[in-house]
Amino acid sequence: MSNAEQLATILHVDMDAFYASVAEKDNPKLKGKAVVVGAGRRGVVSAANYEARKFGIRAAMPVYKAKALAPHAIFISPDMARYEEVSIEVMKIFEEVTPLVEPISLDEAFLDVTGSKRLLGSGRQIADLIRRRVEEQEGITCSVGISHNKFIAKIASNHCKPNGVLEIDPEKVLDFLHPLAAKEIWGVGPKTNEQLMKMGLLTVGDIANTPRSTLIRVLGQASGSSLYELAWGRDYRDVETEHIEKSISASETFDLDLDSQEEILKEFLRLTERGVERMREKAFATNTISIKVRFADFKTISRSKTVDLPITGTQEIFEVVKNLYLSLNLDRVLIRLVGISLDSLVEDEDVKQLTLGERATGWRQADKAIDRIKGRFGAGSLRPARLVEDHQDE
């Protein structure tokens, strides 16, 4: 048996313009038109179909800029519940092919189909089977990258969009990989890419032919070493079927810029309540709490705090959020967006919060009682007092 035959066969399956494709599926009149998921004068683009992308519209772009680029485009509000519904059905299709499925987001996943080839054929035949079933059953398309590891499979899927298949032969990985721009490597964001450009490293091949020690000196031990390995096409991670959500976040873009500390803290409380409810529904607790603040000029800053023990309580988490915001010492600064993130999540059943001298009852038990009431009478049946007036106006 050759080395190639002993290697795994990994697929990266990525839906094409997922949010926009679901909208087109639900409303066929949108097909062939430029569709942008993102609405509101001060919102941002969540997704754009390929017709809209021809005009330069991209995800995370302010909606007003997208409208300036394509005034004729159709702008619709995101419908996350609907996207999750379709995602569940898509993941079921993957699981019919192999039990080794690692969802990365609602619209993409890694599949290890090494053991499925005996029944379903080659990696390409399995990819074609998946694409056909997704289109027939869900009315949307996907692109599939195929290789012997996750890194190369993901890059391959990006290079065959939309509605394509690209298989990278293990023996030709470097021929495919090295001419690519350095920014195509995982972990190379704008700042890292800028550092690489200053070093004269423009392609993946440039990085591969730079001593590991040099990359570590400039980028740090973890980033430099990882970048070097990936530049040579080496990725030893398995497809992980037990995926634990690492983070839960919530954010809000205001209709009008806010500069009132009271109003901003009220929004932070609202977001904290929303995020913590989702976290407790999933039976998680958080180790790290983060906030994000975006100013009127789009400059964005963030702060985070890691607590001694994982926590689940709305009030105790909001106290961390509040202190993080107050530590910024912002006085009458116009703010357009705030967000919170609950990170480093752990399963709640493993959490032991009581410390010496602490009562066995308190906010934790109160929160669980609140969750039970909301579960019976609805999410708006019980809220922090300072949010009640706003809720009545909604």
How many C-beta atoms surround the C-beta of residue 230 within 10 A? 23
CATH hierarchy code of domain 247-393: 3.30.1490.100
Burial of 48 (0-12, 13-18, 19+ CB in 10 A): buried
Collapsing DSSP to helix, strand or coil, 260 comes out as coil
For every residue of 144-195, which 3-state class applies, written as one string?
A: EEEECCHHHHHHHHHCCCCCCEEECCHHHHHHHHCCCEHHHCCCCCHHHHHH
Residue with tokens 């690209």: 166
Sequence-separated (6 or more) residues with CB below 8 Å from residue 71: none
Instruction: State how far Cα 365 lies from the chain centre.
Output: 32
Sequence-separated (6 or more) residues with CB below 8 Å from residue 243: 102, 103
Specify the pLDDT at position 349: 56
Q: Does the annotation flag 14 for ligand binding?
A: yes
The second-level CATH assignment, the architecture, of 18-80 is 3-Layer(aba) Sandwich (3.40)
Domain ranges of the chain: 3-16+82-172, 18-80, 178-231, 247-393
d(CA 127, CA 142): 10
Specify the pLDDT at position 386: 53
CATH hierarchy code of domain 178-231: 1.10.150.20
Of 195, 181, 272, residue with least CA distance to 231: 181
pLDDT (tens digit per residue) in 170-189: 999 999 999 999 999 987 88
Verify whether residue 108 is a known catalytic residue. yes
d(CA 139, CA 131): 11
Give yes or no for a contact between 19 and 35, defined as CB atoms under 8 angstroms apart.
no
- pTM of the entire structure? 0.71
d(CA 60, CA 337): 13
Whether CATH 3.30.70.270 fits 3-16+82-172: yes
d(CA 241, CA 94): 12
Residue ranges in the chain whose pLDDT is less than 50: 1-5, 350-363, 373, 377, 379, 381-382, 387-388, 391-394
Q: Does the annotation flag 107 for ligand binding?
A: yes
> Which among 24, 108, 167, 273 is annotated as catalytic?
108
Instruction: State how far Cα 281 lies from the chain centre.
Output: 19
Give yes or no for a contact between 10 and 102, defined as CB atoms under 8 angstroms apart.
no
- Cis before 162 (ω within 30): yes
Instruction: State how far Cα 206 lies from the chain centre.
Output: 29
Collapsing DSSP to helix, strand or coil, 258 comes out as strand
Specify the pLDDT at position 264: 95
d(CA 235, CA 154): 12
| Average pLDDT score, the chain | 87
Burial of 372 (0-12, 13-18, 19+ CB in 10 A): exposed
User: Which conformational region is residue 307 in: left (phi greater than 0), alpha (psi within -120 to 50 degrees), or beta?
Assistant: beta
Specify the pLDDT at position 289: 95
d(CA 181, CA 205): 9
Token pair, residue 106, equals 């609602």
